[in-house]
Amino acid sequence: MRPNQAAEWLGSFFPAEPSLIDAPPAPFPALAAQGIAATCGFSEVDTGLALEGETGTDVRCELVVRGGVEKQLLGATLGAAATMLLELGVPAQPGVGLERLLDRVELPEGVSVRHGFLREPRLFAQGTPLVREPGRLTLLLELALLTDDEYAIATEQGEAVLERRMRRRGAAMADWHRDA
């Protein structure tokens, strides 16, 4: 899927009319609208993601993030995540932790999240959006931003434990200023 096709696909399920932004030093442009942004072209990169037991299908992804912050910060965060994934050489898949991700981004005062964690998107009622093309599957991965304590829980005890803890605390993943 070419970046312009990715933009059209992503725009079809954004909550409002998205705009294309460049957020240096991001290696890919991002599409952003009302607290949500997605990479637009990361699906051109083969990070090694594969379907279990199937070798004939290329699996690619675009990254999506949400937050109550400026769209430029959302775009810069996505760019930092894409760059970090390329540097680490790991498949972009649920459960991958991006420790100290936001050390790579200039943050406004009060932002308490510091780490990235990839997961299946929790943004859409119909499940994870995907596009099937001949020999290729493109899907979305959500970049969740976590505080130090949340990151430790996610990487040591698992995402399910983190989800329960956040529900009990009434913490929202989109709140980048939540209590650490």
Of residues 36, 22, 29, 33, the one with CA closest to residue 4 = 29
Contacts of 167 (CB under 8 A, 6+ apart): none
Paired with 146 in beta bridges are 115
| pLDDT value, residue 24 | 58
- Tell me the three-class secondary structure of 51-88, residue by residue: CCCCCCCEEEEEEEEECCCCHHHHHHHHHHHHHHHHHH
Q: Please answer whether residues 10 and 39 qualify as being in contact, where contact means their C-beta atoms are separated by less than 8 angstroms.
A: no
Predicted local distance difference test score (pLDDT) of residue 99 = 98
pTM for the model stands at 0.88
Predicted confidence pLDDT, tens digits, the chain (180 residues): 677 777 777 777 766 666 777 665 556 677 677 788 888 889 999 998 888 877 788 999 999 999 999 989 999 999 999 999 999 999 999 999 999 999 999 999 999 999 999 999 987 777 788 889 888 999 999 999 999 999 999 999 999 999 999 999 999 999 999 986
